[in-house]
Amino acid sequence: MTSLTRSFSTQPEWSAWKTPAARDAVLLGAFALVTYAVADVFQLPPYLLQFGLDHPEWEVDDLIFVVFIVSAAVIVYGIRRYRDVMRENKARIEAEGEARKLAMHDLLTGLPNRRFFEAKLKEVLRTVGAGGQLAVIMLDLNGFKPINDIHGHAAGDEALSKFVHRISAVLGPDAFFARIGGDEFAVIMTAIASKKDSADLAARIQGALAEPFGRPIPAAEIPAFVKSKPSRAAVA
């Protein structure tokens, strides 16, 4: 996972403590701990017991029993509320993370979208270093629109999925593959040794697309225009 991908991940767990419900649960637990500590330091239970025995008319024992039950109920409530708050915050954080992921990825192919591609390209240009080289390969499916018009959108979606699968199979682990338009894709290659590296990858991509895509879409109906542009990075 790249640093850019991590930047769009979920927020840290400690952010859950910022919610009022979480603070209430913490305060309840802290109050219970302070009460226990005070009672232990000043030996309140034996004192209250003796006080109740000395003054039976005050019914102190009943009061102590009520206080004990209420304290136990508060502790149980605090624990249950803490668990509920943590579940709620976990669900919220996961939902926010999923929303961020959807905002940066194409729904059909699951690839990074144009927004993610532009951010990734800026990051690569900053981090590749002076004198380093990178290449951007642009892919344009020239015959994609007629597929939707003739065979329907379901066939078009199937063709895109097969196209993405084939391209992904020939890319290296360091390549960044994105869908930047309806029939436009891009690949970022980092730290290439020479222009030949990008030319070789472009040739492999064209070779992967030469095989038939299966019925009802012959390979000739989705020619891909592949353009490779190596570039020497500048210091940001």
Each residue's pLDDT tens digit, 39-88: 778 777 777 777 777 777 777 667 777 877 887 787 788 788 878 888 88
User: What is the chain's mean pLDDT, rounded?
Assistant: 75
Each residue's pLDDT tens digit, 117-131: 999 999 888 887 666
Per cent of the chain over pLDDT 90 is 9
Give me the pLDDT at residue 130, please.
62
Token pair of 186 as six digits: 């891009």
Residue 230, pLDDT above cutoff 70: no
Q: What's this model's pTM, rounded to 2 decimal places?
A: 0.56
* CATH number of 114-232, picked from 3.40.605.10, 3.40.1190.20, 3.40.50.1360, 3.30.70.270: 3.30.70.270
